[in-house]
Amino acid sequence: MKQLDLVFLWHMHQPDYRDHGAPLKVPGGMQRVGADAPAKEPSAEFVLPWVYLHAMKDYVDMAGHLERHPQIRCVVNLVPVLLDQIEDYAQQFASGRFRDPLLRMLATPDLEHIGEADRQVLLGTCFRSNQSTMLAPFPQYKRLHDIYLLLTDESEAAYSYLSGAYFSDLLTWYHLAWTGETERRRNPLLAKLMSQGEGYDADDRRQLLQCIGELVAGLIPRWRALAERGQVELSSTPQTHPLSPLMLDFRSARESLPDAPLPFSAAYPGGRSRVLAHIEAARASHARRFGAPPAGMWPAEGAVSEEFVKHLAAAGCRWIASGEGVLKNSLAGSGPTDPRAAYRPWRLEQAPGLMLFFRDERLSDLIGFDYAKWHGRDAAQHLVLQLEAILDAAAGDETPVVSIILDGENAWEHYPYNGYYFFDDLYGLLAKHPRIRTTTYSTLLTQPTPPVAGKLPHLTAGSWVYGTLSTWIGDKAKNRGWDLLCEAKQSCDRVLASGRLDAAQIAAVEAQLAICESSDWFWWFGDYHPSAAVASFDSLYRRNLARLYSLLQLEPPIHLETPICAGSESATGGTMLRAIES
């Protein structure tokens, strides 16, 4: 009987949302730290809450679905910078000293006398969720929103009529709406609070806070346990999710888009050494948490180039995955394109020992963007039918390898019940399917007869988005972001070469530089994103660069006070917590 091998790769990632410090105020909403700053900076404050919110909703649910269906195998990609922040939150819960404004207010016994700034944070944040799936289904939560909308038609002074009881219910409902469906069905406290509906007091909030803390603290151990019993293969991404092909060579953007505008800077200074540092840091981070380096990696955004892949192979990676558009671009010009090319692994001659797998764009995007509108059982059956059609079209005794790869967090809030019924039906159907086997990449590579790999003549640089790198480079704002980073890196190289920093100072500089090199900043630059989100990332990116200069004992350039994106300045008047979920 012919068989199809199905690999789910769920990619878990959030960028570093911490403001690592800048105590001296300057005009324009930014802060500056220089050589005269206090030697001991305050601990990093979280300016956006998405790590712990996704942890208690999506990362917990994704583990729960697998725990309910032990026959299912998959790959889970955990980015080190996400794990760092999950552990940071776990420490906050353990100590009771919260550096996230929402958690700090959830722990505040008396919400009647909170300041105006805190009230604005709550009103600007606690309705930031999918309205149809996370607010409208809960009448008491929706009523809080209706009251808020009534007051928006009045002057700002009207918000002063809102009581501590209102804010207590608002904070509680926001966090209840962000709990995972698996936990709502398992945890009596969540069921009790949701049934109560209103009138939440300090003790209710304290119990909810404790529940959230237990979920966050238990998350990494749950994934470790799934890996140890062989159900999950854990993979990684270079340390802070950098766009490595561009760090190695800006010109790689032109391999798929020959006319792409590039930054003024000719190249990112020392890009090769920085990419190698990110790879090594990720492997060490993974080994520390899970006992061994990862066998494979999902590069940030699936972005690859020949040079980058060679570095991954040299570092010991046995497999990587990317987007189907990259494969199509790489095969263009070598004859008719095989529509089934993505259903087998590939080898690149320049990267021996490493296997490349490519994402089925259509099936992955059905889950990410379309199935949320379907009934869960219908969506699950449709996906299985698509897989059966792929298998039926296979030639001879060929065993297709289908890779379904997408974020493990962002899609589910669009699904009713956070995708609970979709996953229950899908995993249930796959677990008993006689011809479809869920597996992992390492299992495929170590089985007695590994899949036969195609040979790539060359690899065209690109990502999972359109098969190009245009999401991170090529327009005015993105290129400006790269130029600012290049300028900061040149200063960094000069200071480090001077020998005036000690080992601890150098380590702090390198950690801050890694944060600045994250791909997420460049993703959000552009007027096609919501202005509040752009403003938040624009501001935090420039603050991160300013802090890098301060750690180098240099005065940050004055132009870092100017937003990169047009219109960002007017959008930064409120708290960064008002940005939409990323």
pTM of the model: 0.93
Residue 558 forms part of a structural domain: yes
- Name the domain count of the chain: 1
Task: Tell me if 225 is assigned to some domain.
Answer: no
* Helices 503-516 and 271-290, packing angle to 10 deg: 100
* 206, containing H or E segment: helix 202-228
Query: Helix (H, G, I), strand (E, B), or coil: what is residue 304?
Result: strand
382 in any annotated domain: no
Residues whose CB falls within 8 Å of the CB of residue 339, separated by 6 or more in sequence, listed in order: none
What's the rounded Cα separation, in Å, for the pair 236 and 76?
8
Nearest C-alpha neighbor of 400 from the set 340, 445, 336, 322: 340
What is the domain range of residue 525? Answer: 476-578
User: Do residues 234 and 83 touch, judged by C-beta distance below 8 A?
Assistant: no
Which residues on adjacent β-strands are paired with residue 234?
76
The CA–CA distances, whole Å, from 109 to 45, 92, 105 equal 21, 17, 8
State both tokens at 307. 């040079």
> Measured between alpha carbons, how far is 404 from 8 in angstroms, rounded to an integer?
5
Q: Which pair of tokens denotes residue 547?
A: 């802090």
- Do 400 and 344 contact (CB within 8 A), yes or no? yes
pLDDT tens for the chain, residues 1 to 582: 899 999 999 999 999 999 987 533 333 333 333 333 333 434 799 999 999 999 999 999 999 999 999 999 999 999 999 999 999 999 999 999 999 999 999 999 999 999 999 999 999 999 999 999 999 999 999 999 999 999 987 777 788 889 999 999 999 999 999 999 999 999 999 999 999 999 999 999 999 999 999 999 999 999 999 999 999 999 999 999 999 999 999 999 999 999 999 999 999 999 999 999 999 999 999 999 999 999 999 999 999 999 999 999 999 999 999 999 999 999 997 766 788 999 999 999 999 899 999 999 999 999 999 999 999 999 999 999 999 999 999 988 899 999 999 999 999 999 999 999 999 999 999 999 999 999 999 999 999 999 999 999 899 999 999 999 999 999 999 999 999 999 999 999 999 999 999 999 999 999 999 999 999 999 999 877 888 889 999 999 999 999 999 999 999 999 999 999 976 554 443 333 333 333
Q: Is residue 246 part of a domain?
A: no
d(CA 537, CA 523): 10
Token pair for residue 572? Answer: 């930064």
In a domain, 542, yes or no: yes
Residue 515 lies in a domain: yes
Contact 197, 190 (CB under 8 A): no
d(CA 568, CA 395): 54
Q: Is residue 42 part of a domain?
A: no
Q: Is 499 helix (H, G, I), strand (E, B) or coil?
A: coil
Is 541 part of any domain?
yes
472 touches 518 (CB < 8 A): no
Evaluate the CA torsion angle 535, 539, 540, 542 in order and state its sign. Answer: positive
How far apart are the C-alpha atoms of 495 and 5, rounded to whole Å?
Answer: 52
Of 582, 575, 520, nearest to 125 by C-alpha is: 575
Place of tokens 């671009």: 329
| Alpha-carbon radius of gyration of the chain | 24
- In this structure, what token pair is assigned to residue 484? 């600012």
Residues facing 560 on adjacent strands: none
Query: Parallel, antiparallel, or unpaired for β 74-78 and 4-12?
Result: parallel
